[in-house]
């Protein structure tokens, strides 16, 4: 089977790495890919949002499955365009991708289906938003409704800050993503990432993961796309996983199907585990980055077969096998991230680092310049370790990092601290 994977990050390198091990695979292409993905797939310079070029490429190369990594092409309706052209794809349609594309849509769906989530209001008028705000307790969360590349969420600790966030959002700080604002109750608890493959009717949970969103050690500093992740997440016990499936994932799948917009693909629930149980913070309609890197380290089953079963609507007959090992990934980012990352610096020592036992290094933002490896993004490398415990996986990842010579980059030294602290007590 010829497969086309879309995207260029560490998530896509991890997916490409897993797909390339499939006995069902004939040839793997990736658009646009990166220097690491080029080791396991043929990279082609097509922009994942260019629907016509992708469809043409699929016809030319007889692609039998397109795996769509990032959210933007999904929310823009690439799935529908591929479907109309008779090309099989993994991911939701545009209507189903609203679960990520509009926070207000998802909040309303939660209300209809009785899914636990933070209390909220939706507003397009700043005055109405401020009237609502005046009656809420602090802190309070202000969100741009649409896709804002992880930047459209403000946790306000004062009323002035909240009002300023409303004004900024509704006056275009996040472009069209902020034409509507969602104001949400602040949830207290521990966050976890929950993934399930969904074929429109059935959902199959994956193993759990947790990530670190803040740039600095001790979970300090600005939010990022994610500075590291580990799996399993100790807070997602088997009982908690059953509860999340029953109270959050399954009612969502049922409601989407009832509306005539069944969800197919991977549903990624950002959860807050509160004292009264799991609550949905947000949905994403694609694999997480960097959570996918640790999930793929633990997946024993054939990923390609699982994606096909999802796409073909036969997940109820499918099961996934996972390694009992833990996995942990540390993101190495370019200096300046998450502000303006410095591009173009050289990375050395990667081959030596890659030879570390129980380590895979996924590239997130790299390119080759002859034999030299060059940083070409904010998040640049995902150094991923495996071990019997999270502590062992962490030690493997940091042992590999110690061999990487890259003055142009930095990383957090404490990935996994919450899980490790819990295991020690
Ligand atoms: P989101 O983009 O919706 O996942 O939000 C980004 C981050 O903001 C989340 O990972 C949480 O850490 C935080 N956050 C979002 N909504 C809430 C909420 N209602 N209560 C507490 N924290 C939140």
> Residue 386: its pLDDT value, please?
98
> Residue 252: its pLDDT value, please?
98
Instruction: Give the predicted TM-score (pTM) of the model.
Output: 0.95
* Cα–Cα distance, 291 to 14 (Å, whole number): 10
> For residue 403, which of 355, 343, 335 has the smallest C-alpha distance?
355
Contact residues for 84 (Cβ-Cβ < 8 A; gap 6+): none
* Cα–Cα distance, 115 to 280 (Å, whole number): 8
Residue by residue, what is the 3-state secondary structure of 316-355?
Answer: HHCCCCECCCEEEEEEEEECCCCCCCCCCCEEECHHHHHC
Consecutive 10-residue averages of pLDDT for the chain (425 residues): 98 98 98 97 97 98 97 94 98 96 94 97 92 93 83 88 90 80 94 96 96 94 93 95 98 98 98 97 96 98 98 95 98 96 97 97 97 96 98 98 98 94 67
Query: Do the Cβ atoms of 187 and 118 come closer than 8 Å?
Result: yes
What is the Å distance from ligand 1's center to 109 Cα? 18
Going by alpha carbons, the residue nearest to atom 14 of ligand 1 is 281
**Dihedral angle at the C-alpha atoms of 253, 256, 262, 266, nearest 10 degrees?**
-50
Cα dist from 311 to 18, 87, 113, 201, whole Å = 17, 11, 25, 11
> Residue 175: its pLDDT value, please?
76
In ligand 1, the atom with minimum distance to the C-alpha of 118 is 19
Going by alpha carbons, the residue nearest to atom 12 of ligand 1 is 191
> For residue 16, which of 67, 54, 50, 65 has the smallest C-alpha distance?
67
- 140, 153, 274: residue to mutate for ligand 1 pocket, most atoms within 8 A of CB: 153
What is the Å distance from ligand 1's center to 388 Cα? 31
What is the Å distance from ligand 1's center to 271 Cα? 9
Reading the block at residue 42, the tokens are 């043929």
In ligand 1, the atom with minimum distance to the C-alpha of 270 is 4
| Long-range pairs, 131-136, Cβ under 8 A, ≥24 | 132/183, 133/159, 133/162, 133/163, 133/166, 133/183, 134/159, 136/183, 136/185
* Cα–Cα distance, 244 to 205 (Å, whole number): 10
Q: Is the dihedral of CA 280, 283, 287, 292 positive or negative?
A: negative
> Residue 71: its pLDDT value, please?
92
* Cα–Cα distance, 361 to 1 (Å, whole number): 26
What is the Å distance from ligand 1's center to 120 Cα? 13
- 270, 279, 286: residue to mutate for ligand 1 pocket, most atoms within 8 A of CB: 270
Ligand 1, CB within 6 Å, residue ranges: 118, 141, 150, 153, 155, 184-187, 191, 213, 270, 281-282
What is the Å distance from ligand 1's center to 153 Cα? 7
> For residue 356, which of 386, 389, 391, 388 has the smallest C-alpha distance?
386
CB 363: neighbour CB atoms within 10 A? 29
What is the Å distance from ligand 1's center to 227 Cα? 16
* Cα–Cα distance, 36 to 366 (Å, whole number): 7
Contact residues for 52 (Cβ-Cβ < 8 A; gap 6+): none
- HSE of 398 in the Cβ direction (CA atoms, 13 Å)? 12
H-helix or E-strand spanning residue 14: helix 10-19
Phi, psi values for residue 17, rounded to 5°: -60, -45
> For residue 285, which of 259, 310, 316, 322 has the smallest C-alpha distance?
310
> Residue 424: its pLDDT value, please?
60
* Cα–Cα distance, 267 to 249 (Å, whole number): 8
> For residue 166, which of 130, 122, 120, 121 has the smallest C-alpha distance?
130
Cα dist from 103 to 61, 99, 261, whole Å = 37, 7, 17
* Cα–Cα distance, 268 to 409 (Å, whole number): 29
> Residue 170: its pLDDT value, please?
87
> Residue 422: its pLDDT value, please?
79
- 162, 182, 281, 284: residue to mutate for ligand 1 pocket, most atoms within 8 A of CB: 281
**Dihedral angle at the C-alpha atoms of 193, 269, 158, 144, nearest 10 degrees?**
130
């Amino acid at each position: 089977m010829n497969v086309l994977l879309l995207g260029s990050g560490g998530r896509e390198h991890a997916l490409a790495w897993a797909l390339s091990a499939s006995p069902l695979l004939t040839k793997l292409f990736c658009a646009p890919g990166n220097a690491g993905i080029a080791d396991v797939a043929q990279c082609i310079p097509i922009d994942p949002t260019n629907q016509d070029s992708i469809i043409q490429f699929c016809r030319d190369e007889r692609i039998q499955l397109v795996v769509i990594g990032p959210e933007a092409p999904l929310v823009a309706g690439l799935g529908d365009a591929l479907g109309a052209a008779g090309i099989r794809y993994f991911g939701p349609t545009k209507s189903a991708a609203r679960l990520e594309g509009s926070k207000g849509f998802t909040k309303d769906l939660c209300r209809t289906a009785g899914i636990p989530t933070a209390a909220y209001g939706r507003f397009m008028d700043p005055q109405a938003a401020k009237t609502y705000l005046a009656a809420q307790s602090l802190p309070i969360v202000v969100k741009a409704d649409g896709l804002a590349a992880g930047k459209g969420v403000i946790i306000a600790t004062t009323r002035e800050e909240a009002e300023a966030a409303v004004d900024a959002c509704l006056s275009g700080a996040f472009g069209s993503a902020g034409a509507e604002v969602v104001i949400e109750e602040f949830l207290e608890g521990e966050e976890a990432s929950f993934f399930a493959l969904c074929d429109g009717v059935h959902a199959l949970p994956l193993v759990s993961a947790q990530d670190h969103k803040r740039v600095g050690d001790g979970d300090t500093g600005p939010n990022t796309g994610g500075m590291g992740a580990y799996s399993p997440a100790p807070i997602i016990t088997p009982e908690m996983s059953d509860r999340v499936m029953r109270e959050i994932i399954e009612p969502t799948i049922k409601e989407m199907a009832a509306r005539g917009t069944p969800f197919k693909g991977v549903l990624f629930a950002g959860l807050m585990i509160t004292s009264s149980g799991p609550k949905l913070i947000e949905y994403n309609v694609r694999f997480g980055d960097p959570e996918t890197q640790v999930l793929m380290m633990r997946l024993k089953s054939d990923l390609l077969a699982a994606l096909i079963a999802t796409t073909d609507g036969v997940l109820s007959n499918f099961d996934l096998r996972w390694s009992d090992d833990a996995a942990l990934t540390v993101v190495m980012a370019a200096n300046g991230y998450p502000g303006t990352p410095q591009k173009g610096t050289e990375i050395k020592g990667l081959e030596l680092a890659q030879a570390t036992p129980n380590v895979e290094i996924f590239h997130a933002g790299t390119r080759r310049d002859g034999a030299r490896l060059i940083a070409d993004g904010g998040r640049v490398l995902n150094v991923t370790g495996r071990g019997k415990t999270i502590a062992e996986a962490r030690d493997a990842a940091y042992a590999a990092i110690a061999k990487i010579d890259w003055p142009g980059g930095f990383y957090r030294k404490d990935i996994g601290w919450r899980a490790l602290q819990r295991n020690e007590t």
